[in-house]
Each structure stands twice: as C-alpha cells, then as structure tokens.
DNA sequence: TTTGCTGCAAATTATTTGCATAGTA
DNA sequence: TACTATGCAAATAATTTGCAGCAAA
C-alpha cells in the first residue's frame, strides 16, 4: 500500500466524519482536487483493505464509512442524510428512532451478507476459478 | 389500473416465489416475452401501488418481492441468492443464520428509511415543490 | 529505478424515457 | 372509442477501465 496524498486526504475526511459519504460528496469536500476515477479507485481499495465499509440504499449510490463501530443508520429518502443509531435491537430501535430522533420510519430492512451453505462448501473450487 | 397480460404474468411469478427477483431474472422467467422496459415500468408501477417492495444490495441491482410479511434476508454475495429469515432480533438472527441456514455472515446492515426531523416538518412545502 | 497511482477519455450497465402503435375497459 | 400500456431505440448516470505519464518507495 502506497500512501499518496489522495489516500491521506480521503482517510482524513472519513476519520472526521461519522456519516456515510458517496464518491460525489467526497469529491466536493476535496474541492475537486482529484479525478473521480481516482476517488472511486481508492474507495474500492479501502474497502478491500477493510478500512472502509459501504452500504447501498434505495438510491443505488454506494456510501462509505469507517469500519469501526456500528453499521446501523436511519436514512432520509428526501434529503439523503444519515443519522447513526447506537441501540441494538429492533423494537428498541424503532422507539428510539421515532422518539429520540423524531424520524418518521417508512420502511426498514435488515440484511446479512455472506456465503450461503453451497458457496461456503464450494469456496476453494470457486476462488480458484473466479 | 389496467390489468394487462404482462402485469398478470409478473404478479403470478411473485406470488409463487418468496425470494426477491430483479428485472433481468424476471425477464428470463417470462422467457423474454416482454421488453425489459415494460418489465421495469411495471415493477415501478407495482411498487408505487405498494403491491411490491424492493431492496438494493451491494450489487446495486433492485430486487423486488411481495409486500406481505418480513423484509429480512440473507443474501449470498457469490451466487446472489436469497433466503428469508423469520426470526426477529439481531442476536437470535445471527445464531439462526449461522446454525440453521449454515450461512457464513460476513457483514450485516440494518436500516430504516423515512423522513428525518427536518424533512418531516417541511413536508407540505416540499411536496408542493418537488 | 521500479512499480503502483493518477488523470483523462471512453466503455459499461441497470434503468429510464420519447414516441408511435397496440391493447384494455 | 378513449386512454393507457407496450416495444423499440436512444438517453441517463454511477462506476469502471485502458493507457500514458507521474510519484512514492
């Protein structure tokens, strides 16, 4: 891993920011100092290195955030802003969100990504052939 | 709402299938009887009518499923298949997933979509101007 | 010096849209 | 018949990629 100015600048922003950001937003914060392709490449790189994590909401844009801590958010479909949640169970969540954040929940989704039974067992074979 | 052959065929598939499907998959199941734009238009239509719900995973493709029941899934990032989950709390979920489904969880995400405090209070204004 | 990173331009791909025609009520 | 849905082709937009030059180690 080569620590370039672009990478330093990008990491700095994520460390100062606890809300998910997409490539476009990052580019603006960086005052367009870097080409978008550079930003995309670095975001991918950081995700591979598990330094950043990403999430895709219904707008189909990839948002990145640091891998430390929780991956639970409320996302406003109108202004596209996030708020972090620190509580951990669904029912509590809902109360917390409705009352403490004054956020009107329209829908919620929980998903787990990983490898299913079949892919898990075929892993070595697949990785050698991907 | 005009009940066309395309709409009937699409709904039939979703009613027989409890796993999320994307436009491409649907098109194949329908043996390419309909143009993709027709399928996309109808999926949007059904979602507006709250007959279908959708979810976007890390592959950025929109998957649709019937609005009845739970919106909790495990999603295999390799084969892109889903399995439904019926349990309702996170910790229980994890055990359930790991043991009962033999699914190796790599990451999980929970999110609530809706309107934040600001947008909620500005709702009338915004809706009139969108 | 060497290899990996960046900028630029072009490609990719899921989805959307305009328009003329066909189909439903 | 009146209006909506469909097919086709072209447009859109986030992201990726090839390539040549530049910058970390």
**Phi and psi angles of residue A2, each rounded to the nearest 5 degrees, phi first:** -100, 120
Percent of chain A residues topping a pLDDT of 90? 37
Asked if B71 contacts B63 with a C-beta cutoff of 8 angstroms, the reply is no
pLDDT tier for residue A97 given thresholds of 50, 70 and 90? low
Q: Does A21 touch chain B (CB under 8 A)?
A: no
Asked if A25 contacts A60 with a C-beta cutoff of 8 angstroms, the reply is no
**List of domains in chain A:** 1-68 (1.10.10.10), 69-130 (3.30.1490.190)
Above 60 in pLDDT, residue A88? Answer: no
Percent of chain A residues topping a pLDDT of 70? 69
Which of the nucleotides lies closest to B38 (Cα–C1')? D6
User: What is the average pLDDT value for chain A, to the nearest integer?
Assistant: 79
* Residue A125 vs residue B94, higher pLDDT: B94
Q: Which residues of B are annotated as a binding site for Fe cation?
A: 70, 91, 108
Q: Which of residues 38-77 of A touch B (CB under 8 A)?
A: 53-58, 60, 62, 71-77
Question: Please, what are the averages of pLDDT over each run of 10 residues along chain B (130 residues)?
Answer: 93 89 95 94 95 88 82 67 62 67 72 73 45
CA–CA gap between residue B17 and residue B11 (Å, rounded): 10
DSSP string, A13-64: HHHH--S-B-HHHHHHHTTT-S-HHHHHHHHHHHHHTTSEEEEE-TT--EEE
Set of chain A residues whose Cβ sits within 8 Å of the Cβ of B97: 112
pLDDT attached to residue A130? 30
pLDDT attached to residue B104? 74
pLDDT digits (tens, 9 = 90+) for A15-72: 998 788 999 999 999 998 899 999 999 999 999 998 998 888 888 999 999 877 667 6
CA distance B78 to chain A (A): 7
Q: Does B125 touch chain A (CB under 8 A)?
A: no
pLDDT attached to residue A82? 67
pLDDT digits (tens, 9 = 90+) for B30-55: 998 899 999 999 999 999 998 998 88
Buried b (16+ CB within 10 A) or exposed e, A8-20: ebbbeebeeeeeb
pLDDT attached to residue B69? 60
pLDDT attached to residue B15? 92
pLDDT tier for residue A129 given thresholds of 50, 70 and 90? very low
pLDDT attached to residue B9? 97
pTM: 0.79
pLDDT attached to residue A49? 93
């Amino acid at each position: 891993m080569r620590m370039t100015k672009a990478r330093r600048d990008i990491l700095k922003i994520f460390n100062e920011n606890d809300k998910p950001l997409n490539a476009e937003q990052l580019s603006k914060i960086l005052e367009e100092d870097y080409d978008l392709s550079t930003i995309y490449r670095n975001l991918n790189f950081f995700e591979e290195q598990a330094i950043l994590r990403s999430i895709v909401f219904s707008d189909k844009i990839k948002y990145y955030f640091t891998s430390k801590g929780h991956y639970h958010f409320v996302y406003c479909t109108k202004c596209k802003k996030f708020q972090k949640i620190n509580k951990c169970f669904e029912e509590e969540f809902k109360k917390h969100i409705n009352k403490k954040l004054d956020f009107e929940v329209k829908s919620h989704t929980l998903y787990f990504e990983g490898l299913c039974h079949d892919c898990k067992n075929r892993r070595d074979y697949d990785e050698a052939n991907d």
